[in-house]
Amino acid sequence: MDIQVIKNRFGIIGNAPALNYALQVAVQVANTDLTVLINGESGVGKEVFSQIIHSLSPRKHNPFIAVNCGAIPEGTIDSELFGHEKGSFTGAADARKGYFETVNGGTIFLDEIGELPLGTQARLLRVLETGEYIRVGSSKVQKTDVRVIAATNKDLLQLVQIGKFREDLYYRLSTVPIRVPSLHDRPEDIHLLFRKFAADFANKYKTSPVQLDDEAKQLLINYPWPGNVRELKNIAEQISVLSQDKQIGAKDLSKFLQPYSNNRLPVLASANGNTHEFSNEREILYKLFFDMKRDVTELKRMFLDVLQNPGMATQNQAFINELKEAKTHEAVQPMLVQPSVASAQPVIMNNDIHEHEEVEESLNIVDKEKELIIKALKKHRGKRKDAALDLGISERTLYRKLKEYDIEE
């Protein structure tokens, strides 16, 4: 079937090569029973492609149902898809048919497939492979003949890698993948869509359609459209309703567009309002991770040093105070040298030294930890918060340790 006929029938506007290719794949696969996975950002119109596939398939006279997997609570989605028996769970007053039973012979469109719980994914895989399913609370195997079209705005392979999506289900769903292009990937279609929406809303509200000047058109094209076609349609409706002047310039148009960064990347703002842009989202996560890892490693090192030599607790605290004072005077480097020498402990003994001091005190870590907690409480006169801060642990952890070691405050 001609692609232009499909566009006219389903109200699809645009001539971008990526859009035409996606439509061509949808038309070619429609006459089969192959499972289709539609990928694309939110708002690009993935459900329209599922309707195209169903309407051109031999199942077109049978039921079609669209299910938003992300909108159904995890506790009821199995019942919604596969049905349940009476009394199978609280509130199941009667037996109920699921979508795979009511749409038998037709097509089911599972939108936001990445939101399915792992247990439901296993049930869906069985349906796709054998056509069999079991109602919730039943042991009877039932058969169904349903074509599944799935859609997602997430990277399912990434979900597979972190264990949130079954790998076998991913490859079973993506027998034929269709990528619906984002609006910012088809800039030549943006003004065409805007004109179509503006004309529709003018007809709806009985007004003249708004017109964009050249600068406004360019602004419209350069905008990243994170909400894709859905966002463009909303903007067109707002302008049609709220604009007094039907000739729209760039300044007027900018009032309806959301502020955005040129690179569409996250921006971190400090308390004083300064912003720091990162080259990508992962860099933010990596920075936070390594900062946290470095802090934890340093705390572990200091805690072990204190366990091995309780006298270092006072030295470490003095050292930290000196560092803070040094940073205030922008003289960190000199302070880093002197205290570290004074508090340094020998790690490797010289071969010429053979004498060593006999240590009769307990070296048990638990005893040392209990002793330090008692000392900290005495030092701070029983104030848990100050004692915990001095020990480098949380107040909650200190409370647990007090119970564990049966320490009276």
CATH of residue 196's domain is 1.10.8.60
Residue 277 in any domain: the answer is no
* pLDDT tier for residue 327 given thresholds of 50, 70 and 90: very low
For the segment 244-251, the average pLDDT, to the nearest whole number, is: 90
**Does residue 333 or residue 11 have the better pLDDT?**
11
Residue 101 in any domain: the answer is yes
Q: Is the pLDDT of residue 71 over 60?
A: yes
Indicate the residue type of 324: K
In the prediction, which pLDDT does 354 show?
41
* pLDDT tier for residue 339 given thresholds of 50, 70 and 90: very low
For the segment 205-232, the average pLDDT, to the nearest whole number, is: 93
Please state which of the ranges 17-21, 79-83, 109-113, 396-400 shows the lowest mean pLDDT. Answer: 396-400
Residue 47 in any domain: the answer is yes
**CA gap 49, 181 in Å, rounded:** 12
Q: Are 127 and 146 in contact (CB under 8 A)?
A: yes
206 shares a domain with 335:
no
Residue 210 in any domain: the answer is yes
Helix (H, G, I), strand (E, B) or coil at 68: strand
In the prediction, which pLDDT does 13 show?
93
Q: Is the pLDDT of residue 262 over 60?
A: no
143 shares a domain with 36:
yes
198 shares a domain with 157:
no
Please state which of the ranges 7-16, 106-115, 176-185, 389-398 shows the lowest mean pLDDT. Answer: 389-398
Q: Which domain holds residue 228?
A: 192-254
**For the chain, how many structural domains are there in total?**
3
148 shares a domain with 215:
no
Dihedral angle computed from the Cα positions of residues 108, 114, 118 and 123, in that order, rounded to the nearest 10 degrees: 10
112 shares a domain with 59:
yes
The secondary structure of residue 245, as a DSSP letter, is S
User: What end-to-end distance do the CA atoms of the chain give, in Å?
Assistant: 83
Share of the chain above pLDDT 90, in %: 56
* pLDDT tier for residue 290 given thresholds of 50, 70 and 90: low
**What rounded mean pLDDT belongs to the chain?**
81
140 shares a domain with 9:
yes
In the prediction, which pLDDT does 397 show?
81
244 shares a domain with 126:
no
What is the domain-level CATH number for residue 94? 3.40.50.300
Say which residues have a Cβ less than 8 Å from residue 302's Cβ, sequence separation at least 6: 316, 392
**Does residue 60 or residue 293 have the better pLDDT?**
60
Of 181, 200, 233, the last residue of a domain is 181
